[in-house]
Amino acid sequence: MIRHNGYVFTGGPGAGKTSVITALAAKGFAVIPESGRQIIQEQVASGGAALPWANKELFRDRMLAAALRDFEQQPIDGRPVFFDRGIPDLIGYSALENLPVPAVLQTSATTLRYHPRVFIFPPWKEIYQGDTERKQDYATAVATYEAMQTAYTAHGYKLVTVPFGSVADRVAFILDNL
């Protein structure tokens, strides 16, 4: 199943994906926010274990469930939908964390397809900031970016690198490259 109107943003943490997604939402575009931050917040509040610093596999599996739900529920009216991460991100995360890739994840990444062009945000040290949910250091952000490059390329996507610049400039670049 291919969702030609589903455009994925990927890359390491702290590279500006969420700022651009927020700006696109403000312009009226349909957006699917990243599930990882929400899962972390819910797990911390409930004392759960599905956290990247507690149980990486359970965290990944929760993100997969959210990604599958998001894929199935995206609008299919032909207008662009922007995803803050996609299913292949979880293959990249698995590689980064040396986790086995379950069959359901591999099958989902192969059969549930987004637009063939994926926007990748390179590491940007000047804007990188950790916070309560983002505990990775900058070196891990770079390694994550590299894992995402590998995962999406291996699944046949064409990566379009989003250049550094203001949020408005990055939004314009993305809209010009749909």
CA distance 10 to 18: 10
Cβ(165)–Cβ(137) below 8 Å: no
3-state secondary structure 114-167: CCCEEEEECCCCCCCCCCCCCCCCHHHHHHHHHHHHHHHHHCCCEEEECCCCCH
The answer, yes or no, to whether residue 134 has pLDDT greater than 60, is no
64-73, 94-103, 132-141: range with lowest mean pLDDT = 132-141
More confident of the two residues 120 and 129? 120
CA distance 44 to 64: 19
pLDDT bracket for residue 75 (50, 70, 90): confident
Domain annotation for the chain: domains and CATH numbers: 6-176 (3.40.50.300)
Residue 94's contacts (CB-CB under 8 Å, 6 or more residues apart) are: 60, 100, 101, 105
CA distance 12 to 42: 22
Output the average pLDDT for the chain: 92
- Kindly report whether the global pTM for this prediction surpasses the value 0.75: yes
Cβ(119)–Cβ(125) below 8 Å: no
Q: Which residues pair with 31 in a beta bridge?
A: 82
CA distance 128 to 26: 23
The answer, yes or no, to whether residue 135 has pLDDT greater than 70, is no
Closest CA to 112 of 153, 166, 78, 68: 68
